[in-house]
């Protein structure tokens, strides 16, 4: 996973949703491995906080959500 691509894609979708005036909560869904390898690192946590990006961490093999992370709790 490219950190820049994931954050950029999230920002594009967020802008589109704001433009359509939809009242939905947008989450960045990432595989557990990508989360722990990229987003849970200091730079990843910094960007999640700065851009207030909520994250869903999932395990595709087990088809389960492992963690819901709100943008104000990315320090974990």
> What pLDDT digit, counting tens, does each position of 11-69 carry?
999 998 888 877 788 999 999 998 988 888 899 889 999 999 999 999 999 999 999 98
- The answer to whether the beta carbons of residues 6 and 30 sit under 8 Å apart is yes
Q: Give the residue, 74 or 5, on which the prediction is more confident.
A: 5
Sign of CA dihedral 75, 47, 2, 69: positive
3-73 under CATH 3.40.1350.10, yes or no: yes
Nearest-Å Rg of the Cα atoms of the chain is: 12
pTM of the full predicted structure? Answer: 0.77
Residue spans per domain, the chain: 3-73
Query: How far is the CA of 3 from the CAs of 48, 53, 55, in angstroms?
Result: 10, 13, 13
């Amino acid at each position: 996973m490219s950190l820049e691509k994931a954050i950029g894609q999230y920002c594009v979708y967020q802008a589109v949703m704001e433009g359509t005036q939809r009242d939905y909560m947008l989450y960045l869904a990432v595989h557990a491995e990508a989360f722990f390898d990229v987003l849970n690192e200091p730079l990843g946590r910094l960007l999640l906080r700065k851009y207030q990006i909520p994250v869903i961490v999932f395990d595709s093999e087990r088809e389960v959500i492992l963690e819901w992370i709100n943008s104000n709790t990315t320090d974990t």
